[in-house]
């Protein structure tokens, strides 16, 4: 027994001879069956245990040194799948700390939205893209207070994606200056930055961007309550490559920041968008003096800007390159301000006025006389403009005007037979696109007048005009010398097959799109004439009309072999299962089909269409 207790575990337990442990080895001796030894006293058998060899026992410093020496992206990705701990360590390795040289040209783009936007996914993106060309564009759209993206996730992107050029952060309340500063330090080549609904970002974060990201050319700040004037001033001082700035709903930003930015960067800023800010006419005056490079200007909801601000902006004569102006819900935009802008911006080509309630026909006529290069004008909810105003504008506009649009302007009233304008002769206009939508006072007389000098129309949109009939549409188109390409009569309930017949016969070789949605007097006769005459049509919408199976059959058996790409039949109760074969025939070229609210089309027919028209997007 002394030999047993002197056993240390380093030598063999039994030396020499043979130890008989089986019943067959010792005849005549009974030995019971052996059971597996269960060790329950580790202290007694500690000499038999193997030592722990897991790499997890290494401190993070040693593991970091190992991981940063991985030779390629394949090995890095494999190691990132081991555990979250390894993934986080790998995502914390910057390009400068990696032993292996990595070439990143920023050719990859990634987008995360809602619940998919988490720090863990950002870490995986950082590791996965770092050796595959590098991440160049990242868009993160969070889910508000439930968002799982924090500064740690942005830190992972900063460490592994030095080639990042475009970054969009939307609705991320857990992101703060710390994360944005990491991006600024590690991603100095950022060119476009979009910060929307990030209340944790303040001036400190913008200052960090300004100091490190000298290539920044496009900046958007939307609903960031922590950003103020100091951040804008830092951007103005350091980011000399800035070309586009958009600021919206930031309560801490006022004239001090906006005016300084425009004065400092106006010489190279080309696009300026100011929306719902607490600024006054002072900022617009500065823009008018220093905005020498501005070509596109959007002003929305600037309630603190009065008429004088717009007047000074125009009369300062500093915005010689302005080409596009959009003004929405600015009570300072009046006839006086509009005239000043028209005369002070000689290169103005596109104007959009929305909810400018103090602009009347007088301002439009002044604009037409001063802005000789104007190509398009859109008026929406400008209720002081009447029919004399918009027709006066058309009569005085230059030869460059190509597009005119009226939307929901309640001041428009149709001419009466005694109006002196109804007999006025006009020179031919160059308008190619005419759009009138939801103007209840607009009727046949107005269309008849437009037909006298709109002889080059290609795109006609007359929507929701109950006062328009066949006579008005035909008088508009009778002198048109070029072929119509798009005709939209959506909601014109008094238009009949006669209009469609005239359009098809007169413009069949050029017509590409025909929208008759809601024209309740349209029947199969319209589709029959389209099938015979419209060689180029690829988009037909006859939703909510009297079209039936006969009309669909006419399209399918067209002698000119129509190549329809979009066909909308929504709400047509006359379409039944009998049209299945015809729709399948048309479906050889269809990319979109709308059969919603077609109650007489059975589910079996729908299933057949879904199965056979597999490349067509079907709404049912």
pLDDT at 391: 85
Helix residue ranges, H only, 306-373: 307-315, 335-344, 361-370
Planar angle of CA 389, 369, 409, nearest 5 degrees: 25
Q: Are 227 and 254 in contact (CB under 8 A)?
A: no
Query: 45: which DSSP letter?
Result: S
Planar angle of CA 42, 46, 49, nearest 5 degrees: 100
Q: Would you state the torsion angle of the CA atoms of residues 142, 145, 151, 152, taken in this order, to the nearest 10 degrees?
A: -80
The neighbour count for residue 189, using CB atoms within 10 Å, is: 16
Q: In 3D, which of 524, 542, 526 has the Cα closest to residue 534?
A: 526
Average pLDDT on 600-617 reads: 95
Q: Are 188 and 213 in contact (CB under 8 A)?
A: yes
Token pair of 442 as six digits: 């607009």
Token pair of 482 as six digits: 């070029």
Q: Are 138 and 168 in contact (CB under 8 A)?
A: yes
pLDDT digits (tens, 9 = 90+) for 87-146: 666 666 665 555 455 555 567 888 889 888 888 888 888 877 766 667 899 999 998 888
Q: Which residues pair with 137 in a beta bridge?
A: 109, 166
Q: Which residues pair with 298 in a beta bridge?
A: 273, 326
The neighbour count for residue 462, using CB atoms within 10 Å, is: 23
Q: Mention every residue, 6+ apart, whose C-beta is less than 8 A from residue 53.
A: none
pLDDT at 18: 43
pLDDT at 347: 95
With cut-offs at 50, 70 and 90, classify the pLDDT of residue 2.
Answer: very low
CA-CA distance, 487 to 485, in Å (whole number)?
Answer: 7
Range in 142-151, 192-201, 426-435, 578-587 with the lowest mean pLDDT = 426-435
CA-CA distance, 507 to 501, in Å (whole number)?
Answer: 10
pLDDT digits (tens, 9 = 90+) for 439-453: 999 999 999 989 888
The helix/strand/coil state of 2 is: helix
Element (H, E) at 533: helix 524-533
Residue with tokens 């328009």: 468
Q: Are 128 and 77 in contact (CB under 8 A)?
A: yes
CA-CA distance, 59 to 66, in Å (whole number)?
Answer: 11
Query: 118: which DSSP letter?
Result: B
With cut-offs at 50, 70 and 90, classify the pLDDT of residue 478.
Answer: confident
CA-CA distance, 385 to 315, in Å (whole number)?
Answer: 24
With cut-offs at 50, 70 and 90, classify the pLDDT of residue 76.
Answer: low
Average pLDDT on 209-216 reads: 96
Query: 242: which DSSP letter?
Result: -
Percentage of the chain beyond pLDDT 90 is: 69
Token pair of 161 as six digits: 């994606």
Where does residue 317 fall: left (phi above 0), alpha (psi -120 to 50 degrees), or beta otherwise?
Answer: left
| pLDDT over 60 at 315, yes or no | yes
pLDDT at 70: 64
Q: Are 546 and 519 in contact (CB under 8 A)?
A: no
pLDDT at 9: 41
CA-CA distance, 524 to 556, in Å (whole number)?
Answer: 13
Q: Would you state the torsion angle of the CA atoms of residues 431, 437, 443, 449, taken in this order, to the nearest 10 degrees?
A: -10
pLDDT at 12: 43
pLDDT at 434: 95
Average pLDDT on 51-66 reads: 61
pLDDT at 410: 93
CA-CA distance, 579 to 115, in Å (whole number)?
Answer: 44
CA-CA distance, 137 to 107, in Å (whole number)?
Answer: 8
Q: Are 248 and 276 in contact (CB under 8 A)?
A: yes
The helix/strand/coil state of 167 is: strand
For residue 137, count CB atoms less than 10 angstroms from its CB and return exposed for 0-12, middle for 13-18, buried for 19 or more: middle
pLDDT at 352: 98
pLDDT at 86: 66
Token pair of 524 as six digits: 């199969």
Average pLDDT, rounded, for the chain: 86
What does each C-alpha distance from 540 to 179, 529, 554, 567 come to in angstroms? Answer: 51, 13, 13, 5
| pLDDT over 90 at 180, yes or no | yes
Strand 244-248 and strand 271-275: pairing?
Answer: parallel
């Amino acid at each position: 027994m002394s030999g047993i207790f002197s056993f240390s575990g380093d030598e063999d337990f039994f030396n020499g001879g043979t130890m008989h442990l089986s019943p067959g080895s010792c005849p005549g001796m009974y030995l019971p069956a052996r059971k597996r030894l269960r060790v329950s006293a580790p202290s007694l058998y500690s000499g038999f245990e193997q030592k722990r060899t897991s790499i997890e026992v290494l401190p993070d410093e040693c593991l970091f040194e190992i991981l940063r020496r991985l030779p390629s992206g394949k090995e890095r990705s494999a190691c990132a799948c081991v555990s979250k701990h390894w993934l986080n360590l790998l995502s914390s390795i910057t390009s400068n700390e990696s032993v292996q040289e990595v070439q990143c040209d920023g050719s990859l783009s990634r987008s995360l939205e809602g619940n998919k936007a988490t720090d863990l996914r950002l870490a995986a993106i950082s590791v996965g893209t770092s050796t595959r060309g590098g991440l160049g564009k990242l868009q993160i759209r969070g889910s508000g207070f439930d968002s799982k993206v924090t500064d740690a996730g942005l830190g992972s992107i900063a460490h592994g994606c030095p080639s990042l050029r475009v970054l969009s952060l939307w609705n991320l309340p857990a992101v703060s200056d710390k994360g944005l500063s990491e991006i600024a330090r590690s991603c100095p080549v950022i060119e476009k930055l979009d910060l929307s609904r990030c209340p944790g970002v303040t001036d400190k974060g913008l200052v960090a961007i300004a100091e490190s990201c000298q290539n920044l050319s496009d900046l958007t700040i939307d609903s960031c309550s922590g950003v103020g004037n100091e951040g804008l001033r830092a951007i103005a001082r350091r980011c000399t490559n800035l070309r586009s700035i958009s600021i919206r709903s930031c309560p801490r930003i006022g004239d001090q920041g906006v005016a300084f930015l425009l004065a400092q960067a106006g010489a190279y800023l080309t696009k300026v968008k100011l929306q719902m800010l607490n600024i006054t006419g002072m900022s617009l005056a500065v823009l008018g003096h220093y905005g020498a490079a501005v070509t596109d200007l959007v002003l929305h909801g600037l309630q603190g800007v009065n008429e004088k601000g717009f007047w000074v902006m125009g009369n300062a004569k500093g915005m010689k390159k302005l080409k596009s102006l959009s003004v929405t819900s600015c009570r300072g935009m009046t006839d006086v301000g509009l005239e000043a802008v028209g005369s002070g911006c000689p290169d103005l080509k596109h104007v959009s006025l929305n909810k400018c309630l103090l602009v009347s026909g007088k301002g439009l006529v002044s604009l037409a006389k001063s802005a000789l290069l104007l190509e398009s004008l859109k008026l929406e909810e400008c209720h002081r403009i009447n029919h004399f105003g918009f027709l006066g504008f058309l009569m005085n506009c230059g030869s460059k005007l190509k597009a005119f649009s009226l939307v929901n302007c309640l001041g428009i009233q149709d001419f009466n037979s005694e109006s002196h304008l109804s007999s006025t002769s006009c020179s031919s206009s160059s308008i190619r696109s005419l759009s009138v939508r939801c103007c209840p006072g607009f009727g046949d007389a107005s269309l008849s007048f437009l037909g006298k000098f709109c002889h080059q129309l290609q795109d006609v949109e007359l929507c929701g005009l109950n006062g328009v009939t066949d006579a008005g549409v035909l008088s508009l188109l009778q002198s048109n010398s070029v072929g119509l390409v798009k005709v939209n009569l959506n909601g014109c309930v008094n238009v009949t097959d006669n209009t469609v017949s005239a359009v098809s016969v007169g413009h069949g070789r050029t017509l590409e799109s025909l929208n008759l949605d809601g024209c309740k007097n349209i029947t199969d006769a319209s589709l029959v004439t389209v099938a015979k005459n419209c060689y180029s049509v690829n988009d037909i919408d006859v939703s909510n009309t009297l079209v039936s199976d006969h009309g669909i059959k006419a399209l399918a058996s067209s002698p000119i072999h129509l190549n329809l790409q979009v066909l909308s039949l929504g709400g047509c109760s006359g379409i039944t299962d009998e049209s299945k074969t015809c729709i399948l025939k048309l479906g050889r070229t269809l990319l979109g089909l709308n059969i919603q609210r077609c109650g007489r089309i059975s589910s079996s027919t729908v299933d057949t269409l879904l199965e056979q028209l597999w490349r067509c997007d079907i709404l049912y």
